Amino acid sequence: MKKHLLFFYLIFSLGLSSHAQNIGDMSLNDAVTDKNTSISSSLKEKALVLVFHSMNCPFAKLYEERIIDIRTRFQNQGISFALVNSESVGKEQNPELLRSHIDETGLNMPYLMDEDHEWVKQFEITKLPEVIVLVPGEDGIKIAYRGAIDNNAQAESAVTEKFLERALNQILKGEQPGPSQVRAVGCNVRSF
């Protein structure tokens, strides 16, 4: 009986590993440049911050200035940024409106369209905004931090914990972010 269980476990494990997707190979279309952009090409040096975003989510809009501030302070230190949108409905289907929004707000980063919810499912995103910080590792690209940007979505002046900023500073020091995951708060992701 134990031999049978071991055999089934080995077959199941091999099946899972053969279907696992290499994070570096994942790519989406950038609504700003209309070019296909992969994770491996976006992860230039130390880290890539993916901010799952939607122009229809009020929580994401509340965070836009904070996202701009973090990007401005960290982009010249080997950390790149991209917005990922899986909510391609209404005005978010119009590339001109998306480009206009990026320009008007000063977000100035790739705006990747996850229309088939591949990235939402791969990274198990449940809220908008939610961030994933990817770093190069010995065995490929890995997730160093996932979750909330900070601890107060509604009032920036009341923020007492800057989770994303702390994680990026730890990565720059060569440390593993701690905590590596903080539950994000915001709009529910529709991953149908």
Residue 6 lies in a domain: no
Residue 138 lies in a domain: yes
Kindly report the CATH number assigned to the domain that includes residue 160: 3.40.30.10
Cα within 13 Å of Cα(37), Cβ side = 24
Which pLDDT belongs to residue 10?
37
Query: What's the total number of domains in the chain?
Result: 1
Residue 74 lies in a domain: yes
Spell out the residues 6+ positions from residue 110 whose beta carbon is closer than 8 angstroms to its own.
30, 32, 33, 37, 42, 81, 82, 83
Residue 129: closest CA among 62, 34, 42: 62
Which pLDDT belongs to residue 98?
81
**Residue-range definition of the domain harbouring residue 111:** 21-188
Entry pTM: 0.85
Q: What is the mean pLDDT of each run of 10 residues along the chain (192 residues)?
A: 43 37 85 89 92 93 96 96 82 74 89 92 95 93 97 94 98 96 93 52
Which pLDDT belongs to residue 19?
35
Residue 106 lies in a domain: yes
Which pLDDT belongs to residue 21?
55
Report the 10 Å Cβ neighbour count for 96.
Answer: 9
